[in-house]
Amino acid sequence: MMKFKANEIAKYLDGIIDGDEEATVNTVAKIEEGHKGALSFLSNMAYEKYIYTTDSSIVIVNNDFVPSSPVRATLIKVDNAYEAFATLLNIYQQSKPRNTGIHKSAVIEESAKIGEDVYIGAHVYIGESVILGNGCSVYSNSSVGDKCRIGDGTSIYAGVTIYHECEIGENCTIHAGTVIGSDGFGFAPGAEQNYTKIPQLGNVIVEDNVEIGANVVIDRATMGSTIIRKGVKLDNLIQVGHNVEIGENTVMAGQTGVAGSTKIGRNCMFGGQVGITGHVSVADGTKAAAQTGISGPVKKENTVLYGSPAFEYRKFQQSYIVFRKLPDLKSRVDKLEDQVKNNK
């Protein structure tokens, strides 16, 4: 990381300096592991105790932070410390030199169109009539199937498989081991308890600025498209079934599963291991806690769901209070039954 002074960082973030304007940093560190020359941040007040002991040279904090003890570090106050720190990390990431060129072991079909300033790593396969945009990176052992379109600035990490005719937007990131466009789980039951495979003739469309974690599987549509709208963020180990649509800026934590033909709205948030049944609609702004099971449509926007099967947060809390008291309630009922029997 290049050296930056506190006044330079503050100017970029439109922040206010409290301390030495000439303090410099050349690396980043968690506040509890801070050392001289490091830049840290504090947004979660559970970590406030570390700001009084950290050796970080500069700490980014929220505007409303008022220290209760002396702080050695120079503070830069901003509206949102977490967002500001993320912005600086992106700058740091972009400042790193990126790989360019095409490895000699890569196989690129003659009909493929390769943009400028691309990187194609070892043992990559680029299929017939693929369009690979400018500034793309395709890392080792990845495969891009026939007639795929990959937008400018997209990074495809090692071991990714993108099946034929899928479309990936601009500035997307697809992490290692992910499979996009494999067949949806479509089988027709027969009269003799066997199953006939239903051809999956559609594709997957991933719009711009989507990030997909490692070992994610997004199935192609039976007909039409499975669609991941712009700005979606998918964690590792997620399964998205055929003909699913995930709305803009929705985020999903690891091991979430979405069954086929479900439509998920914008700005939704799903914790780890959430399960969503097929053929339902989930309203914009829905939030589901970890291990929630959504077995029916969610019609009201900004609903917060808990439990399996899922129900609304406040009702879940009320029910949980009753559930915790069940052993005591059972004991009381047993005593009442004994009293009734003894009084006969």
List average pLDDT for each run of 10 residues in the chain, which is 344 residues long: 87 95 94 96 96 97 95 97 92 80 97 97 98 97 98 98 98 98 93 90 98 98 97 98 98 97 98 96 97 94 88 73 82 85 76
Looking at the fold, whether 254 and 147 belong to one and the same domain comes out as yes
Position 331 scores a pLDDT of 86
Looking at the fold, whether 166 and 89 belong to one and the same domain comes out as no
Give the end of a domain, one of 37, 70, 95. 95
Are 119 and 98 contacting, i.e. CB atoms less than 8 angstroms apart? yes
Looking at the fold, whether 223 and 293 belong to one and the same domain comes out as yes
Q: Which of 35, 103, 123, 242 is catalytic?
A: 242
Looking at the fold, whether 238 and 283 belong to one and the same domain comes out as yes
Looking at the fold, whether 17 and 42 belong to one and the same domain comes out as yes
Position 337 scores a pLDDT of 84
Token pair in block for residue 21: 């304007």
Which residues does residue 203 pair with via DSSP β-bridges, in sequence order?
A: 225
Q: Is residue 117 exposed (0-12), middle (13-18) or buried (19+ Cβ within 10 Å)?
A: middle
* CATH value at residue 57: 3.40.1390.10
Looking at the fold, whether 90 and 161 belong to one and the same domain comes out as no
Phi-psi region of 192 (alpha: psi -120 to 50; beta: other; left: phi over 0): alpha
Are 278 and 294 contacting, i.e. CB atoms less than 8 angstroms apart? no
Give the end of a domain, one of 42, 70, 95. 95
Looking at the fold, whether 323 and 309 belong to one and the same domain comes out as no
- DSSP code at position 221: P
Position 193 scores a pLDDT of 84
Q: Is residue 90 exposed (0-12), middle (13-18) or buried (19+ Cβ within 10 Å)?
A: exposed
How many Å apart are CA 227 and CA 180, to the nearest integer?
11
Count of domains observed in the chain: 3
Looking at the fold, whether 188 and 45 belong to one and the same domain comes out as no
Catalytic, 123? Answer no
* CATH value at residue 308: 2.160.10.10
Looking at the fold, whether 343 and 292 belong to one and the same domain comes out as no
How many Å apart are CA 73 and CA 88, to the nearest integer?
18
Position 65 scores a pLDDT of 96
How many Å apart are CA 271 and CA 105, to the nearest integer?
41
Position 251 scores a pLDDT of 98
Q: Residue 79's CB: how many other CB atoms inside 10 A? A: 12
Q: Residue 339's CB: how many other CB atoms inside 10 A? A: 9
Full domain range(s) for residue 326: 319-344
Give the end of a domain, one of 95, 119, 135. 95
How far from 15 is each of 8, 31, 83, 85, 239, CA to CA, in Å?
10, 19, 12, 12, 41
Looking at the fold, whether 234 and 331 belong to one and the same domain comes out as no
Looking at the fold, whether 90 and 110 belong to one and the same domain comes out as no
Which residues does residue 287 pair with via DSSP β-bridges, in sequence order?
A: 269, 304
Looking at the fold, whether 182 and 234 belong to one and the same domain comes out as yes
Position 192 scores a pLDDT of 81
